[in-house]
Amino acid sequence: MSRQRRNARNPRTRPSTGSGRTRGLSPGARQKGRKEHKPASQNWGRAAPTVNLAQEYEVETVIGLEEYTRREARRLLGKAAQVERGMTEGRFSLRFDGNIRRFDEFRTATAVHRVEEFAVPRPRALLGHQHLTRLLGIIHVILDARPAGAFRTFRITAAGAGSGVYSRLRREIVAATALEPTDDAAHLQIAVRRAPSDEGGWQVLIRTTPMPLSARRWRVCDMPGALNATIASVMTTLVRSRSNERVLNMCCGSGTLMVERLGLGGAASVTGVDIDTGALLCADANLRTLGHSASVSLLQADCANLPLPDACMDTITADLPFGMLPHDYDISSLYHAALAESARVAKPNASLVVITTRRRVLLSTIEDNPSWNLANQIPLSIPHRRGYIKPHIYLLRRGRIAGSRL
């Protein structure tokens, strides 16, 4: 059947020749004769919906510190960020329209990852031209935000990361970036996981920094079991910092709590005490990195017998020993002596912030020492090898009765 005959039988397929009112008119006149199409906002008398074009990120923090990190995000990023509640422990979503270098200012976050969702049925589809081009473009955005050479290695973590699909993806990333793949800790961390939405798909998460945010630049000397800097940052913010504050760090170790406190601003005095000479040398090296060494006094002494006068400190912090101790070590006696001595040097209404995994021992010690009142406790879960260690942060307030040496 010819096209003309088909068109005659089906008027909907006939070429349009215009209505009777516009036939024979010039193109300009025809245009004027057409009914103008108005957008929905004009037709219905209301504004079109606002589309949030901000990029999605996922903020990672120590489990138990999520609310503190959310508060920090709101304070640092202001109206440019939309902070959302997390779907899993230790993580929450963040929409942000701005430079990713702003994330470097976080003190309580472990890492910030850019999140990209791909509407693909399986990871193999990421190797398709369209998706691969998009993925490599995102990687270059992360790399270009840093000085040349800041990223040298990359790692892909995913279920089946050793499969042929991910081997090919590694080769594509190497060809596009010249980064070196590794199975160990890497500068560029890439994770692939199923999208949490009901519509399916897969997500790619790319860390925005060459190192975790918890890896502080000032840490030139480290010690086994050193306190996580993000946790130390939260501990120092539990007490409002003041320029006339006198601060004591018992069992100071490598100085993490002192450095994080000084990062909030100056103090009238900061004193670190540890019985280990090596720890004091390590703390001094870290303090010197930021130019704080001259403003801190480091004392070698037993925390149960401090060379300090009574009622001289406003704030006391301590990372109490709880691991790597001899089997016959009397941890209960140590905690009782430390709390009694801290009460002696504390001013009335002073604060004591400590962290330990020995929950029962510390709570029993607090009950036996009426000088300190428990004001708050924060349970944490910290990844360690193939499991977790679960310490608590404790905030205690000193009563008004001055202590004395026993």
Question: Alpha-carbon dihedral of residues 298, 292, 264, 321, nearest 10 degrees?
Answer: -30
Domain count, the chain: 2
Query: What tens digit of pLDDT does each residue of 193-221 get?
Result: 999 877 689 999 999 999 999 999 999 99
Say if residue 339 is in the same domain as residue 285.
yes
- List the CATH number of the domain containing 105: 3.30.2130.30
CATH of the domain at 309: 3.40.50.150
Q: Are residues 201 and 282 in the same domain?
A: no
* 233 and 203 in a common domain: no
- The whole model's pTM is what? 0.82
Given a contact cutoff of 8 angstroms between Cβ atoms, the answer to whether 292 and 224 are in contact is: no
Question: Domain check: are 318 and 261 in the same one?
Answer: yes
Residue pLDDT tens, the chain, 406 long: 444 444 444 443 434 444 343 434 444 444 444 444 343 333 333 333 333 458 999 999 999 999 999 999 999 999 999 998 777 899 999 999 999 999 999 999 999 999 999 999 999 999 999 999 999 999 999 999 999 999 999 999 999 999 999 999 999 999 999 999 999 999 999 999 999 877 689 999 999 999 999 999 999 999 988 899 999 999 999 999 999 999 999 999 999 999 999 999 999 999 999 999 999 999 999 999 998 888 899 999 999 999 999 999 999 999 988 654 545 468 899 999 999 999 999 999 999 999 999 999 999 999 999 999 999 999 999 988 888 999 999 999 998 654 443 3
